[in-house]
Chain A
Amino acid sequence: MKFKFIFILTLLLVPLHSFAQQRISVAGVVTEKATGDPIIGATVMVKGTTIGTVTDMDGKYMLENVPEDATIVYSYVGMLTVEEPVNGRTTINVELSEDVQALEEVVVIGYGTSKSKDLTAPIAVVKSEDIVKHATASPMSSLQGKVAGVLINNTGQPGAGPDVKIRGVGSFADTQPLYVVDGMFYDNINFLNNSDIQDISILKDASAASIYGVRAANGVVIVTTKKGILNAKPTITYDGYYGVQRATDVLKMANSQQYATMQLEKGSETDKAVLLKSIELYGGDQTNIIPAVSTDWYKELLRTAQMQNHALDITGGSDKVAYSVGLNYLFQEGIMDAVNDYERFNIRAKSDYFVSDWLKIGANLISSNVTKRDPNNSAWESAFVAPPIFPVYDENNTAAYPEKFASPAQVGYSTYFGNPVATAYYNNAKSNIRQFLPTFYAELYLLPQNRLTFKTSYNQNISSESGRIYTPEFRVGGGQENTVSRLNKYNNNIRNWIVDNTLTYMQDFDKHNVTAMLGQSFRSESFRNLWGEATGVPGDFEEYLYLSQGNADGRKTGDGGYTYKGLSYFGRVTYNYARKYYLSATMRADGSSKYQEKWGYFPSFGVSWNVSEEDFMKQQNFIDYLKLRASWGKLGNDKVPASDGFASVTQNLSTSGVFGNGIIPGYTNLIYFSWLRWEVINETNIGLEANMLANRLHLEADYYHRMTENAVIDAPLPMGAGSLLGNYGKILNSGVELTLNWQDKVNNDFSYYVGGNITTINNKIKDLKGLPYLYGGTAEFRTISKVGGPLNAYYGHKVVGVYQNEEEIKNDPVAVANGLNPGDFKYFDANGDKVINDEDRVILGSYIPDFNYGLNAGLMYKNFDFSIVMQGVYGNEIVNQKRGLRRWQGDINYDADMVVNRWRGEGSTNKYPSAKGTINPWNISKFNSFFIEDGSYFRIQNIQAAYTFPKKEMGSFTMPTIRISLTAERPYTYFTSNGFTPEVGGIGFDRQVYPLAATYTVGLRIVY
């Protein structure tokens, strides 16, 4: 580490710039370009000095003692800064234009900040206003469709955060980005309220993210919570909404008549007997065999649920202290009609003290307290399979207790089936999650003008989750029962901390501007888990739910945990010449206790060229700002295991042989083992940013090329020896991100904006260490990762049609050999050998979209404002695994689409099987393209209309600003797949996905 000290010493020895020029006085007027109005209070400074002033009521200023060859900097909040070389002039009038595209905005980057226009990397910033307008429980959910390159997959379950992918899928393991909240590392930010956040910076490319080294492969999301402002009057803001959530696009299932039709057409006596039994018990049409009871299980399971959020913020500051405190409360019910909700109460306080001109300290505390009651999600699948021909309740079901639920066994169904409402009802899962994020920092300004800053910070994440899952004693019938109550309790504790030390040096040498940062960081991540289980715990009251109340016999306990430590050194140098040519380089050395190989090195380089600063660009006024940039960097992904296999001994009940009535402790020690190392990503990015037409049109375009190396792959071993992880793979993600925004302030009463973004993803496996392919998924629903193809592509038979008549059957040796009938699928014979077997399987689709996009528009007219956000994905497929369940159980219910469109004789359809065909193993036991559906969708994500009552003086009392808004979150989605939502997550298997709801809210904001 010696080089660091030498570097620091070198910086100290740099001589101060001396001034020996002629000095003059300069005066002028600063006006706003759009309106010509004078700007009051604009800052006018002589660059690189402390000489400065502010403009008066008429926008006028006067500076004395200005060196002839100095440069004067004119700046004002929300305006683009202008630099004017004096060149001996004594009068300089300046027009400032609105910083519509936020070029002067300070962007949070890793271990520092930068002006937006000085960046060499694509960093997207999302502001508080754009987050709070969404009625979402997790802040990341509100970013859906907003940022190019970021693909967000939401789920409807209260308290469950979205799945976030930045620039494709580069790993078989975890692909969630790293979240850095006020300096602390997190796996998600579901504990934060939308109103806790000041802004979110998304570091998309390697040159921005590689300062986070081995954690950065999936992209980095830096979250800054709200902070105070010096010399600001306290602002008190209340922001809240109340609303309702309703499931949209509820999947239409077959009613009893449709179901009976299908069952009868199959021609099985068993199926007929079940229908007759239902008619016997619950009535119906005996002659046509249509049961009277027709239960819509999804309807029984769904409810209109409420959601509310209230947030109070107080922000302000004196000349030495800036503070922001806040508290907020969120309550969201789940749309499953069961004990299912999410409640969060957050308190937050942040303060910064400017102790002296060389010392600033600050502390921050966020506390989050969540109570979550999770539903039994298997009820969704149960509702899909449960036939409509039995009711929810049946007083005559004598075996049932404590509630008189009807059982599918009463009408003759096997133990495969259950009553979905009972499944949801007999569930009692609750957890309390408490999260604390205390941080402290001190900043020392070691040279005048903050040229050398030392910052040390200590950040912690202290979290605990204590929860329970209680299953009461109950019986519905047919195997749906629990003969002895069971209580499982668990406690998870997390204590993570990070100590960061950075030294930042800034200096301008004439036109050479240098910023250098050196840093060092320690971190520790610990997780501990302890659980216990007991049976026979009485469940009448919440207060009874203790393990000690249960049977002493057969109690179980267990624990687990991990501790990883990390040590890192990092540095960054950015240099620019005359704010035209930019160069940045970063390097991080990351040490991790997790891996055998301890150290990894992650460099990056970036260059950019502000073309618009060139003289030849000053001749035109079409392009106001143009920057070209390119970068390369290396990133690591440490979300992969450290080792795999059985180097350790497995010793438990299943490895201990039974002899008589007891066991002899035993172990197994299979020896397939591999040490793993983190995955590495090499990423190249080329992009441009431009503002045109008086800064009203903003364009940003990037091409990215991310190659994952050492991708950890779970390769199955032959001979049933299981599977073993290895750093085998090379995966490429490449694509283009394009963002285009137009905004215009027509006059003081009317302004508007429209914009959109699109991201393409091309996902390809480049190498599997010699293997031609790897299987994934399950034996029944196979996925394949083939070299040259996408990750985990669906792999099976392609349906090319449906046999329409006997003639067609007779002429096809495949149909003859397999005893097929009209109404059965005709498969693609890939190798043309007139036999359909596993060798004819082809790639049927992929869960990775070709592109995703977002659109947004808004307008402000006087006190009204209106905005709309739309988004979608295109070109991905999903597996309708719900339909595939029929391979295990022929008599499950049908979705209505399958009944209505079934093959019913020649020419009726070339896509759907006949009723009989729906249970022919030929059609359902082979994974085929019938189960693959288009996952593309388009959604109106958010519509908001609001009216603002401006601040009014009423005598001595000032009425606060009041804004009333109406918001519809996800009111409309267009998609064609047969499910509740096309957002199924994971690798696109739609089986028991929690439905997404539309949320309609009324919001109120009061700013005082």
Chain B
Amino acid sequence: MKKNISIKGIFIVALVSLSLFMSGCSDFLDKLPENTVAQEEVDYTNLNNMYMPVSGVYAVAAFKFSFWGAYGLIAIRGDDVDKGSAPNDQIEFNYAKQFQYDRITGFWALNSTWEGLYNVVTTANAALESLDRYKENITSSADMERYNQYTAEVRFLRAMAFYRITQYWGAAPILIDNQALTVEKNSIEEVRQFIQDEMDYCIAHLPDLRPNEVPNKPGAVTKYSALMLKAKVALLDEDYATVLTATQEIIDSKKFELYPDFYQLFKIPGKLSNESLYELQFTDFGTGSGDAVTSDAWFAFQGPRNGISPIQGWGFMVPTQEIRSFMAERNDSVRAKTTFLYAGRRTPSGDTIPPGNPGEPDCYNGKAYTPANQMTPGRSEYGMNNNIRVFRYADVLLMNAEAKVRAQQNGDEPFNLVRTRAKLSPITNVTLDQILDERRAEFAMEWGERFFDLVRTGKAPDVLSGFVPGESEYYPIPQNQIDLNPNLK
């Protein structure tokens, strides 16, 4: 009998424990995911954090705009830039240079460029949505003003992405709704009008300051960055009246001046100078190790081959013989010293650039060069802690001069400011051709400026071999993107 009792006892205990397990677990499966904060948890009532999404767009824009493949594609087509590096490395840049666009529809860098620029667009769209959610909690007019300014900053960076998009592809989708990704293309005119309209909003709401004097966030975009972008888009469209009014407004603010030393302008001392209207900013926080924010290999892409760190890179996007002869003929020695980084020589800053092998570059882009003695000791990456100059006051002056001459006015004053900074003697009654030559020298190796000047002035077919008007202006949309969104066909 004893045994039976214990069996029973055990049996009951077992069943009870089983049922206890079963009943105590209604909330057993309710568990938040570890180590992530859900978007719904962002405290939109905390207006102190309202700048965070804006800062996020700056970060994404600085990285994506400095993507080396994108830079190669925008720079390669002018008569100032050769592919460089080993003859067969990234050969597609040569096809781009020869305007054989049907050979690059599958080029990975073209696709990455598209993805990167639209990534800036979608990030900006998302930031605007966040800002709108903060806005719901705004009660004071000061906060409302901040909201307006922040949205203007984001909209500038988004328009900047569209500016690049229209430089590469001409017609492209204006994507402003992140949920509608299978968009169709907008026309060139629509894209450019969109940027112009956006700039009118930005001009109205961005601070009336030079970027390097924006309190607490030096280098943030301002009203003048927006005026500049407006002028640049107008220039693409040969809308010289708009170019004139926009550049004149910048000049009349008397806030900007050319950085006196053209050579140092592109180096650490020239970071965020009074000449700068927009820069892609990076930093090593002044420490020799640990975290650093760097470009997407923009510097390394253009650094000299076979060098010793930190003066070394992959040797792409090098000056052509044409631009070197052109500078030599003009005796443009300051600009030549700045623009050309000769292999096998010592630089003015004291670095030795190793000689190139036969068939490889004997000269690199000096505007992407940061001397070793200006770098934070301990850092070994070429160009680290330097910024990338995008919009400069020199461009404002030369655009202004050109617009004036085209409007039958005298452009000497803005023109000669730029020219004398380069230690060249002034010219009176400057002509259009002289201005274009000055632009060619001043902006050599910078952001494909030369190519876009040649296209808008109709000189491209004469200067660029293989250029076919009506076909060569814009890159094809990457095959991969058409595969994903047939509306782009």
Contacts and interface: CB of A to CB of B under 8 A. Distances in A.
Interface string A503-526: 100000000000000001010000
A89 B294 CA distance: 94
Contact of A554 (B28, B118, B290): B290
A719 B122 contact: yes
Contacts of B21: 499, 501, 520, 522
A535 B290 contact: yes
B34 A716 contact: no
Interface in B32-90: 33-40, 42, 51-60, 62-63, 85-89
A654 B31 contact: no
Contact of B89 (A456, A562, A775, A889): A889
Nearest to A482: B380
A630 to B, nearest CB: 34
B115 A890 contact: no
Contact of A666 (B53, B86, B126): B53
B108 interface: yes
Contacts of A818: 103
A77 to B, nearest CB: 31
Contacts of B181: 717-719, 721
Given A648-B37, A669-B39, A414 B306 contact: yes
Contacts of A661: 283, 285-286
B218 A273 contact: no
B7 A415 contact: no
Contacts of B285: 661-662
Contacts of B431: none
B35 A780 contact: no
B293 to A, nearest CB: 5
A598 B29 contact: yes
Contact of B483 (A8, A444, A598, A775): A775
Chain A's interface size range is 35 or more
Given A399-B308, A657-B55, A716-B484, A662 B283 contact: yes
B470 interface: no
A693 interface: no
Contacts of A15: none
Contact of B39 (A274, A551, A642, A648): A648
B105 interface: yes
B264 interface: no
A818 to B, nearest CB: 8
A659 B217 contact: yes
B126 A669 contact: yes
Contacts of B480: 775, 779
Contacts of B485: 718-719
Interface stretch (B192-200, B201-209, B356-364, B393-401): B356-364
B129 A779 contact: no
B435 interface: no
B169 interface: no
B219 interface: yes
B347 interface: no
Interface stretch (B10-18, B222-230, B332-340): B10-18
A454 B31 contact: no
B306 A478 contact: yes
B26 to A, nearest CB: 10
Given A415-B314, A660-B219, A838 B42 contact: no
B29 A479 contact: no
B327 interface: no
Contact of A648 (B38, B52, B59): B38
Contacts of A5: 15, 19
Contact of B305 (A414, A560, A888): A414
B319 interface: no
Contacts of A563: 31, 34
B228 to A, nearest CB: 19
B175 interface: yes
Nearest to A448: B7
A578 interface: no
Interface string B113-134: 0111111011100110110000
B10 A647 contact: no
A484 B288 contact: yes
A418 to B, nearest CB: 14
A669 B289 contact: no
A837 B293 contact: no
Given A657-B57, A717-B484, A775-B483, A358 B10 contact: yes
Interface in A631-687: 642, 646-649, 651, 653-672
Contacts of A663: 55, 59, 283, 293
A666 B29 CA distance: 34
Contact of B126 (A274, A478, A671): A671
A409 interface: yes
A284 interface: no
A721 B380 contact: no
Contact of B306 (A409, A536, A670): A409
Interface in A519-569: 520, 522, 535-536, 551, 553-556, 559-567
B245 interface: no
B268 to A, nearest CB: 11
B291 interface: yes
Interface in B404-447: none
Given A412-B306, A479-B312, A658 B14 contact: no
B469 interface: no
B59 A656 contact: yes
A654 B340 CA distance: 32
Contacts of A554: 287-291
A272 interface: yes
Given A520-B22, A553-B290, A665 B283 contact: no
Interface in A104-136: none
A259 B234 CA distance: 55
B36 A556 contact: no
B349 interface: no
A891 B86 CA distance: 9
Contacts of B31: 563-565, 593
Nearest to B64: A720
A657 B484 contact: no
B183 interface: yes
A657 B29 contact: no
B7 A657 contact: no
B106 interface: yes
B428 to A, nearest CB: 41
A953 interface: no
Contact of A1 (B22, B54, B293, B488): B22
Interface in B305-326: 305-306, 308-309, 312-315
B378 interface: yes
A842 interface: no
B479 interface: yes
Contacts of B217: 657, 659-660, 664
Contacts of A717: 181, 484
B357 A668 contact: no
Interface in A456-487: 456, 477-479, 481, 483-484
Contacts of B481: 718-719
B220 A659 contact: yes
B471 interface: no
B35 A559 contact: yes
Contacts of B37: 648-649
Contact of A536 (B22, B126, B289): B289
Given A522-B28, A718-B484, A779-B480, A666 B58 contact: yes
19 contacts: A1-B19, A1-B22, A8-B15, A501-B17, A551-B290, A555-B290, A591-B28, A647-B39, A656-B59, A658-B59, A661-B283, A664-B217, A665-B55, A666-B56, A667-B52, A668-B123, A671-B129, A719-B115, A775-B480
Minimum-distance CB pairs A-B, first 3: A554-B290, A666-B55, A657-B58
Given A655-B60, A659-B218, A660-B219, 15 more contacts: A412-B306, A415-B313, A499-B21, A522-B28, A553-B289, A566-B29, A647-B40, A658-B281, A665-B55, A666-B52, A719-B175, A719-B181, A719-B183, A775-B480, A837-B479
